[in-house]
Amino acid sequence: MASGAPGGGISKWIPNPPQRGSFPLDHDKECSVIMQDYLRCLKLVDGTNAHGCRLLAKSYLKCRMNHGLMEQDEWRNLGLPEDDKPLPLRKIPEYGEQKKLSSDSKSGTSGSGSGSVTTATTFTYHQIKTTMSTLAPVIAPSILSGDFADLAADSKKMLDRTADWLHIDVMDGHFVPNLTFGAPVVKALRAHIPKGSAFFDCHMMVSNPLQWVPDMAAAGADQYTFHLEAARTSTFGESSSAADPVIATIEAIREKGMLVGIAIKPGTSVDELLPYADKIDLALVMTVEPGFGGQKFMADMMTKVAALRKQFPKLNVEVDGGLGADTIDVAAEAGANVIVAGTSVYKAKDPEEMIKLLRSHVAEKL
C-alpha cells in the first residue's frame, strides 16, 4: 500500500513537514521562503528522491538552526548519510549539476496481485527551479552549431561542460528558409540522453506548430516553444474550445505534458506577445532573423526583453542569436535569464569556460 505522506521518502528529511501548499508562519520569514520552494519541489518530483529537494531540505534545516529553532543534536538524529552536510544558508547547488538517485520503493496492489516497484530518475536543479520562486540563469547551447554526424556525442559533451539545457532548433523549410531536424532526431537523441538527464528546449520554427505537438512530446521534448507568427494561422489537430489559435496551441502543449514557450521574430512587436505571457513558461525574443546560426546580435531587441522582465518578473525570458562574451552583458542587463549560445560556445577554445562566463554574467544581474 502506498504511503500517504506528502513527498514519500523525501518527507523524512524534514521532521513533521507541513502538508503541501501550507505556509509555516511560525518560522522565520527566511526559512519560510525555503520551505515554500521545498514544498514545490515535493510536488514536482511526486515522491522521487531528487537531489535538489534534498538540498532544499538541508537548507531549510540549516536555517532553523541559525535562528535557534533547531538544535545540532536534532540534526544529527535525522539519520542522514554522512556526506549530507547542512548547506550554508540559501546556498544552492552548482548550476548544471546532475545526480542520479534511486527513488524509494513503492508498494502497491493491483487486480493481478501486489508487488514492489522501484524507479530511478535524474533531476537537474533547473528542472526543479522551474517551479521555484527565484529565477535561475540558464545556458542552452544550440545543437545547430554541433556536428550533425555525431549529435549525441556532441550534445553529451555540452552537458559534461555544464550546459543547463540543450536548445534544439527545429526548422521545416517553410516558416524559415532552412531545414534542420524534427521529431525523429529528437527521439534518437533521447535514446542516448534519457528523459530527465537533460532538458530539451525545442524551438519550433515551423509553419504549423499544432501539427508537431504530439510527435515532439512522444519524442521526448521538455519544452515546446512555438512562434507567435505561425500559431495565428495554425489549424492542424483536434478542435479546441479556444477561439484563439494561440491559446489552442498552448492548451495542446500542456495536454501533452510539456512546458510552453512562445517566440517572436525581430519584426514582431512585444505588445503582441504580452497578452499570452502569463499563460506560458518562457518567452523567446529572437535577436537575429531565425533560420541560420552565426548571425550578428541585434541589440535593439533588448527593449522587448526589458518590457517582458518588467511586467513578468518570474517569467523565463530567453534570447537567441549572436550571444557571446561581447553581447552577454547587454542581454543580462535587459533581463534575459535564458541564453541560447551556438557558435560562441561550440567554437570556443574552452566551451566550459565560455558557458561559465555567460552564466556568471547573467547571475550578476538577477
Look at residue 290 in the predicted model and tell me its pLDDT.
87
pTM of the model: 0.67
Annotate 189-202 with DSSP letters as a single string: HHHHS-BTTBEEEE
As annotated, the active-site residues are 169, 320
Look at residue 66 in the predicted model and tell me its pLDDT.
66
Q: Are 253 and 287 in contact (CB under 8 A)?
A: no
Look at residue 238 in the predicted model and tell me its pLDDT.
53
Look at residue 132 in the predicted model and tell me its pLDDT.
45
Maximal CA-CA distance, the chain:
65
The domains of the chain are located at 31-78, 128-364
Look at residue 234 in the predicted model and tell me its pLDDT.
74
Q: Distance between alpha carbon 70 and the CA centroid of its chain, in Å?
A: 33
Q: pLDDT (tens digit, 0 to 9) for every residue of the chain, 366 residues total?
A: 333 333 334 344 454 444 433 434 344 556 666 666 666 666 555 444 455 566 666 666 766 666 666 665 655 555 544 444 433 333 333 323 333 322 333 333 333 333 333 333 333 433 444 444 457 899 999 999 999 999 999 999 999 999 999 999 999 999 998 999 999 999 999 999 998 889 999 999 999 999 999 999 999 999 999 999 999 987 665 555 568 999 999 999 999 999 999 999 999 999 999 999 999 999 999 999 987 766 789 999 999 999 999 999 989 999 999 999 999 999 999 999 999 999 999 999 999 999 999 999 999 998
Record the cell numbers describing residue 259, joined without a space: 512546458
Main-chain phi, psi angles of 41, to 5 degrees: -65, -45
Please state, in angstroms and rounded to a whole number, the distance separating the CA atoms of residues 96 and 102: 19
Amino acid making up residue 222: D
Q: Does domain 128-364 have CATH number 3.20.20.70?
A: yes
Look at residue 291 in the predicted model and tell me its pLDDT.
75
Q: If DSSP codes are grouped into helix, strand and coil, which group holds residue 309?
A: helix
Element (H, E) at 155: helix 151-160
Q: How many residues are there in the chain?
A: 366
Look at residue 88 in the predicted model and tell me its pLDDT.
35
Between CA 205 and CA 242, with CA 251 as vertex, the angle to 5 degrees is: 105
Element (H, E) at 329: helix 328-334
Cα distances (Å, whole numbers) of residue 349 to 98, 207, 219, 311: 24, 37, 33, 38
Look at residue 183 in the predicted model and tell me its pLDDT.
98
Strands (E), 210-249: 223-227
Record the cell numbers describing residue 233, joined without a space: 494561422
Q: Is the dihedral of CA 49, 53, 56, 60 positive or negative?
A: negative
Please state, in angstroms and rounded to a whole number, the distance separating the CA atoms of residues 323 and 358: 9
Look at residue 110 in the predicted model and tell me its pLDDT.
36
